Amino acid sequence: MAPKAAVYPHIRTIHNDTVQDDYYWMIDYFKQGEKSQEVIDYLEKENTYTSSMLEDTANLQENLFQELKSRIKEKDESVPYYKNGYYYYSRTEEGNQYFKFCRKKGTLEAEEELLLDIDRLADGHAYYTAKGFSVSPDNRLLAFSVDTVSRREYTIYIKNLETGEIYPDQIRNTEGAAIWGNDNLTLFYTAKNPVTLLSEKIMRHILGSDPATDVLVYEEKDNTNYIAVGKSKNGKYIIINSEGTMSSEIWFLNADFPQTEFRVFQPRMQDILYSIVPLEDRFLILTNDEAINFRIMQCPLDQTERSNWQIFMDHRPDVLVSDIEEFKDFLAIAQRKNGLTQLAIYDLNTQQQHYLDFGEVAYTVYPAINVEYNSRKLRYGYTSLVTPSSVYEYDMGDQHKVLLKQQEVLGGYDQTAYITERLFATARDGVQVPISIVYKKGTKLDGTAPLLQYAYGSYGASMDPTFSSNRLSLLDRGFIYALTHIRGGEEMGRQWYEDGKMMRKMNTFYDFVDCGKYLIENHYCTSEHLYAQGGSAGGLLMGVVANIAPEQYHGIIAQVPFVDVVNTMLDDTIPLTTNEYDEWGNPNESEAYFYMKTYSPYENIEAKEYPNLLVTTGLHDSQVQYFEPAKWVAKLRATKTGDTVLLLKTDMDYGHGGASGRFDYLKEIALEYAFLFKLEGIVPSHTSEQ
């Protein structure tokens, strides 16, 4: 029998609006309240119920896990990149969950130096993530960061690469990145508020000193901004970036003198974003100042205020400029046009520009690891729904490209056996919304095939078409996969994002539903075979879709869903809340409150039949706290009608990103696929024969 959560009425009154929340108490584990154990007990009961309801898929899940894992090349190596006299790379070994971080001096034929053995370091930890590998300019020291809880609170460690010693300088509660000054003694890092987990301070650490004595070099007073510290590719500047949804500000100093004061590049301006790229003789500035899709400006190295900015590359209303990869003589400029990514190569000497050509209807291209400033070779990544992830090296001078590595799919993969399409659905307000589709040849397009519709639609994050070897387990069983590029992302330019946030957020949800309707009307599927999936802010999308179009979907997978929007945005002690005001609005203001209340999934549950639902979360999630999906499921259980399935799976060891190992996360995917296959009547024996 499904668990029934206890009811402890909690009254919320704001803007003369009173709401009773029967499950507010579930926040107690996060708040360390008196009902903390009751929260754990409830989550474990839900887990037990989910296991019992999917017990008949246990063999199917195991078979799927083995199938997914069998496509992964266990012994593998990344494409080496060159920096400051060394080639760096990571490699994985058969049977191990993690990796080794290595380097070779001068040539790839040199003897390997094993810098970090993450497999060994992770031993005994349920969760382990290491990142932020930063080698000192003299190549002697390695700074790296570790999270063993899955709340993205990293401890920075420093290793002597000559002696193997791990120094006693352990810097706790950071964002993870450690940036070296050119003196090989000074490190800069971002410190987090231990309660809200906001990045609030940039600190300076001197090697060998007590981290408790680290010096504050920058403090962010605006709690709607994120901050970070980095280093320019040419090695000349340490750069602090403070950015919110609507404005940004940059501070910088000469990396040769890391103990001097930072100075502001240009004080923050209302509704203006900017980032900088240092060149030999000037700064480039990527900004939306008088340019909604961004343009590139330039200024002298010693005159950085806005009054000194001059046009380098002007704004084009049909092209979003998203990134600049700088080299001594070239720029690689990432752009978006008609919903697709593209790379423009600009020669700083000749001032000539050309574009790379890719030849597919839907694809993704992006600058890869390019750490060497004095190079004319661009590394870029390329993938599509049918093309495995590939790394190319492109000589920007002679315009010649070489494929360095393509993801190997074990067991054989025939790209020609799959078809990808680019479609456009008309939303209810007349806007054309792109859809990227992939399916296996021979799949019937008469409405009988099952179809999984996916989207995100927030923060200007574009969901580009990429390859997934895991997805083959869907396609080979007759599923169609549809990636819908709805408003709230930036696929069609900055306005695409602006039209899917704040007081226009409903466009995001309507776009998704209207794309699903289009797929039904064009006989890709029927509502009996249409499924939806989304995570985090995409999980919010799933919650809204379940409320406003339950009859259109047979099943929904909501991963770590942000579904209790009003309550979360009212609580500024919850991690990341204040950073989100420019995305969703501040409900302390009545207009924002009443608007988000109209769509917040938790607020709008009704006594009606809902699609079959699988909801996943992590107890240690720092992005979307566990209590949001837990409350949502409890209220749905108590309110919905009909006999559709409602399942909640809480991972008691992990957080927002799920498992840390390269295989464990496949168990989560196997669970989700088994849920879909059970709804479709695809029996376990089918899987066993694959």
Per residue in 418-472, pLDDT tens?
A: 999 999 999 999 999 999 999 999 999 999 999 999 999 999 999 999 999 999 9
φ/ψ bin of 473: left (φ > 0), alpha (ψ from -120 to 50), beta (otherwise) = alpha
Do residues 666 and 65 make contact, with C-beta atoms less than 8 angstroms apart?
A: yes
pLDDT of residue 687: 36
Torsion angle, CA of 74/106/229/98, rounded to 10 degrees? 20
Provide the pLDDT confidence category of residue 686 given band limits of 50, 70 and 90: very low
- 218: β partners: 202
Beta-strand relationship, 17-21 and 10-14 = antiparallel
Residues 293-308, mean pLDDT to the nearest whole number: 97
Do residues 663 and 596 make contact, with C-beta atoms less than 8 angstroms apart?
A: no
Residues 633-646, mean pLDDT to the nearest whole number: 97
Beta-strand relationship, 226-231 and 295-299 = unpaired
Whether the pLDDT of residue 653 is over 80: the answer is no
Exactly one of 621, 622, 651, 660 is catalytic; which is it?
621
Provide the pLDDT confidence category of residue 18 given band limits of 50, 70 and 90: very high
How far apart are alpha carbons 52 and 3 in whole angstroms? 12
How far apart are alpha carbons 154 and 139 in whole angstroms? 23
Whether the pLDDT of residue 255 is over 90: the answer is yes
Whether the pLDDT of residue 657 is over 60: the answer is no
Torsion angle, CA of 245/248/253/258, rounded to 10 degrees? -30
- 241: β partners: 228, 250
- 3-class secondary structure, 544: helix
pLDDT of residue 294: 97
pLDDT of residue 27: 94
Provide the pLDDT confidence category of residue 685 given band limits of 50, 70 and 90: very low
Q: Which amino acid, residue 349?
A: N
Residue of 169, 201, 198 whose CA lies nearest to 186: 169
Residues 563-592, mean pLDDT to the nearest whole number: 90
pLDDT of residue 487: 98
pLDDT of residue 55: 96
Average pLDDT, the chain: 94
523 noted as active-site residue:
no
Residue of 409, 482, 480 whose CA lies nearest to 442: 480
What are residue 503's phi and psi, to 5 degrees?
-80, 5
Do residues 128 and 98 make contact, with C-beta atoms less than 8 angstroms apart?
A: yes
Residue of 274, 256, 126 whose CA lies nearest to 264: 274
Residue 172: CB atoms within 10 A of its CB come to: 12
Whether the pLDDT of residue 187 is over 70: the answer is yes
pLDDT of residue 688: 33
Residues 84-112, mean pLDDT to the nearest whole number: 95
pLDDT of residue 661: 61
Provide the pLDDT confidence category of residue 566 given band limits of 50, 70 and 90: very high
* Range picked from 90-99, 193-202, 676-685 for highest mean pLDDT: 90-99
pLDDT of residue 346: 98
pLDDT of residue 320: 96
Provide the pLDDT confidence category of residue 15 given band limits of 50, 70 and 90: very high
**Chain segment 22-51, per-residue pLDDT in tens:** 999 999 988 888 899 999 999 999 999 999
How far apart are alpha carbons 243 and 190 in whole angstroms? 14
Whether the pLDDT of residue 689 is over 60: the answer is no
621 noted as active-site residue:
yes
- 3-class secondary structure, 445: coil
Residues 216-234, mean pLDDT to the nearest whole number: 93
CA 365, 370, 373, 378 dihedral sign is negative
Beta-strand relationship, 154-160 and 81-83 = unpaired
pLDDT of residue 49: 98
pTM here is 0.88
Q: Which DSSP category does 428 fall into?
A: T
Residues 393-422, mean pLDDT to the nearest whole number: 96
Exactly one of 150, 242, 536, 622 is catalytic; which is it?
536
How far apart are alpha carbons 428 and 269 in whole angstroms? 36
* Burial grade of 275 (CB within 10 A; 0-12, 13-18, 19 or more): middle
**Chain segment 135-181, per-residue pLDDT in tens:** 999 999 999 999 988 778 899 999 999 999 999 999 999 999 999 99
Whether the pLDDT of residue 408 is over 60: the answer is yes
315 noted as active-site residue:
no
Exactly one of 205, 529, 554, 656 is catalytic; which is it?
656
- 88: β partners: 81, 103
Q: Which of 251-255, 579-583, 661-665 has the lowest mean pLDDT?
A: 661-665
Do residues 404 and 393 make contact, with C-beta atoms less than 8 angstroms apart?
A: yes
**Residue with token string 């699988």:** 614
pLDDT of residue 154: 94
Q: Which DSSP category does 495 fall into?
A: H
pLDDT of residue 466: 96
pLDDT of residue 639: 98
How far apart are alpha carbons 550 and 544 in whole angstroms? 9
**Chain segment 380-391, per-residue pLDDT in tens:** 999 999 999 999
Residues 357-368, mean pLDDT to the nearest whole number: 90
Provide the pLDDT confidence category of residue 625 given band limits of 50, 70 and 90: confident
Residues 74-94, mean pLDDT to the nearest whole number: 94
Give me the DSSP letters along 302-360: T--SGGG-EEEE--BTTBEEEEEEE-SSEEEEEEEETTEEEEEEEETTT--EEE-----
- 129: β partners: 147
How far apart are alpha carbons 281 and 544 in whole angstroms? 51
β-sheet with 283-287: strand ranges across: 274-278, 283-287, 295-299, 310-313
